[in-house]
Amino acid sequence: MTAATPPMIKAAAVNKFFGDLHVLKDINMEVPRGQVVVVLGPSGSGKSTLCRAINRLEPIDSGDIEVDGQPLPAEGKALAALRADVGMVFQQFNLFAHKTILDNVTLGPVKVRKVSGEEARTTAMELLERVGITNQAEKYPAQLSGGQQQRAAIARALAMQPKVMLFDEPTSALDPEMVQEVLDTMTGLAKDGMTMLVVTHEMGFARKAAHRVMFMSDGEIVEDSTPSEFFTAPKSDRAKDFLGKIL
Ligand code: ADP
Ligand code: MG
């Protein structure tokens, strides 16, 4: 990698309003290639809006966002290509209820990436193995546990061969006993070198898997530091207050 290689995600002076509400306030951040950046912060601080802005599910009012050195396209084929490059996993698994797990995973590659059905199935089975649910391939989402559904959602995102994965509270809707299997899947991805931006309240994951931790509060990135700095010596009162409530 040369010094000129751009970060995978770069946001510069990004502002976003919902009416009078200033939800993203002059956000400057980067996710370097191959790194895991965890976003922490109280509810309503703008974490989901930031994720949605990065794959242009939300337009921004000012500033610039680049993915892999390219400004976000506004529409058309370029936008579809961006969405394919930026895998997204939400709190709600968002699988297609009337399709099998295998079909859920093959649909995007066949439609958007123009991969053959056979090749898509082969890749999908490899991905289902990677997330540990090959034996669920022919089932429908409702027949799986929450943890299995979320792992299927991760496999579905990976099937598009994304350059970066965004996770927005991927374990928040899960029963406690299923949280770890999803975090383990994510840790595996990180170890394989996937670039990831992860919004989570799982502090164990943040400590172990994150290269950097960003703390958001009230639309601002208040801290951007290593996990050990953040957890042992948070600088701001807002971060201290947040950690005091959750640890
Ligand atoms: P977080 O993910 O950190 O909980 P969000 O990004 O979801 O925060 O929300 C940030 C703020 O923007 C909150 O005050 C929320 O109520 C508001 N908000 C989010 N989405 C919308 C929307 N579509 N319309 C109006 N306000 C919104
Ligand atoms: Mg959110």
pLDDT, tens digit, for every residue of 53-110?
Answer: 999 999 999 999 999 999 998 888 888 888 889 999 999 888 999 999 999 999 999 9
Q: Are 212 and 53 in contact (CB under 8 A)?
A: no
User: How far apart, in whole angstroms, are the C-alpha atoms of residue 177 and residue 211?
Assistant: 26
- Does this complex have an ipTM over 0.85? yes
Q: For the chain, how big is the Rg over CA atoms in Å?
A: 18
Distance CA 8, CA 102 (A): 29
- Which tokens in the block code for residue 14? 């990004």
Q: pLDDT category, 8, cuts 50, 70, 90? A: very high
Ligand 1 contact via 45 beta carbon (within 6 Å): yes
Q: pLDDT tens across 129-168, in order?
A: 999 999 999 999 999 999 999 999 999 999 999 999 999 9
Ligand 2 centre distance from Cα of residue 231 (Å): 21
- pLDDT, the chain, mean: 95
Question: Concatenated DSSP letters for 160-215?
Answer: T--SEEEEESTTTTS-HHHHHHHHHHHHHHHHTT-EEEEE-S-HHHHHHH-SEEEE
Q: What is the pLDDT of residues 217-235, one digit of tens each?
A: 999 999 999 999 999 999 9
Does the Cβ of 43 fall within 6 Å of ligand 1? yes
Of 211, 178, 215, 179, nearest to 196 (Cα)?
211
Cα–Cα–Cα angle for 116, 122, 124, rounded to 5 degrees: 95
Mutational test site, ligand 1, from 18, 47, 51, 246, max ligand atoms within 8 Å of CB? 18
Distance 2 CA to ligand 1 centre (A): 38
Work out the pLDDT band at 5, boundaries 50, 70, 90.
confident
Locate 155 and state its tokens.
């496999």
pTM for the model stands at 0.95
What tokens appear for 201 in the block?
A: 């309240």
